Amino acid sequence: MASGSHTLSLTVSEEELPAAKAMLVAAYANSVPKDADPDQLLATMVLADRYQLRVCVEACRSHLLGLDPKALAWGTALALLRLPAGLREGEAFAAVVEKAHERVLHSFANLDEAWTSRASRAQWASLPAEAVTRLLGCGQLAAASENVVYVVVASWLAAQLKQCAADPAGLSQLQAVAARLLSDLRFPHMSGNFLAAVGAHHGLLAGQPEVARWLLEAMQWGRAADAQRKEMAVSGGSIAIVIVLLK
């Protein structure tokens, strides 16, 4: 591309060609079409950031920020959440990535309701670890019991295990994520029958070094009076699930 005495040379893959064309149009127009596809905008924004075309980056960013997070396509939200950390945390992209987190919260704010949908369960399994950790630490979630939270966490971990079975490095990272997620669960709030079955038969839990302590805390919770439970709850796990007693 030539403009006066300035030349910009672009080297892009065939997949990036549509984004490259959109980037050049946006660079000249200082804007993007009102009906621009969000997926295309994101690809254009990433490419523009690579070539430091700030006008184009800002045009894409402004458009994406104007979208209703509830209406954001799952694929677009997932693409945002899977951006390299350097982009996700950068000034230009951070606010846009927040839109993706809002989209995830909208889909899974009620874990019980979401879990009845096969499509939602597939979406849950596709989330990156950071998004799962953040969602489970959110104070706006609702679940009938902590049993549901365990099922949701275990389901996600099982899906990731299948993907990284042949990747030692990925498996090591997953084990660290599993330990962190499980240690944040409020085992004392699980029903006794469920916990006994899980503790005895589920390898995901049984393999954790802290499992004995968790099971002991659960037993103590089950036997405690209401006043004692209030004291115990103050020092419970950090996953801030709002327990809703569904009838």
pLDDT tens-digit readout, 134-162: 999 888 889 988 889 988 998 898 888 88
pLDDT of residue 241: 35
- Provide the pairing of β-strand 6-7 with 2-3: antiparallel
d(CA 212, CA 111): 27
Mean of the pLDDT values across residues 74-89? 93
Query: Residue 239's pLDDT band (boundaries 50, 70, 90)?
Result: very low
- For the chain, give the mean pLDDT: 81
pLDDT > 60? residue 210: yes
Q: Are 88 and 97 in contact (CB under 8 A)?
A: yes
Overall residue count recorded for the chain in this entry:
247
Tell me the C-alpha distance between 109 and 178, whole Å.
21
Please tell me the predicted confidence (pLDDT) of residue 100.
95
Query: What is the C-alpha to C-alpha distance for residues 28 and 210, in angstroms, rounded to an integer?
Result: 59
User: 3-class DSSP state for residue 2?
Assistant: strand
Give the per-residue pLDDT at 226.
78
pLDDT in tens, 58-72: 999 999 999 999 989
pLDDT-based confidence at 8, cuts 50/70/90?
Answer: low
Classify the phi-psi angles of 201: left when phi > 0, otherwise alpha if psi is within -120 to 50, otherwise beta: alpha
Q: For 155-205, how does the pLDDT look when each residue is reduced to its tens digit (9 = 90+)?
A: 898 888 888 877 777 888 888 888 888 888 887 778 777 777 776 666 666
Provide the percentage of residues in the chain whose pLDDT is more than 90.
31
Least confident of 21-35, 48-62, 181-195, 212-226: 212-226
Are the C-beta atoms of residues 32 and 41 closer than 8 Å to each other?
A: yes
Q: Is 34 helix (H, G, I), strand (E, B) or coil?
A: coil
Q: Strand 242-243 relative to strand 142-143: parallel, antiparallel, unpaired?
A: parallel
pLDDT score at 163: 83
Instruction: State yes or no: pLDDT of 240 exceeds 60.
Output: no
The DSSP line for 90-127 is: SHHHHHHHHHHHHHHHHHHSBHHHHHT-HHHHHHHHHS
CA gap 45, 92 in Å, rounded: 9
Contact 74, 127 (CB under 8 A): no
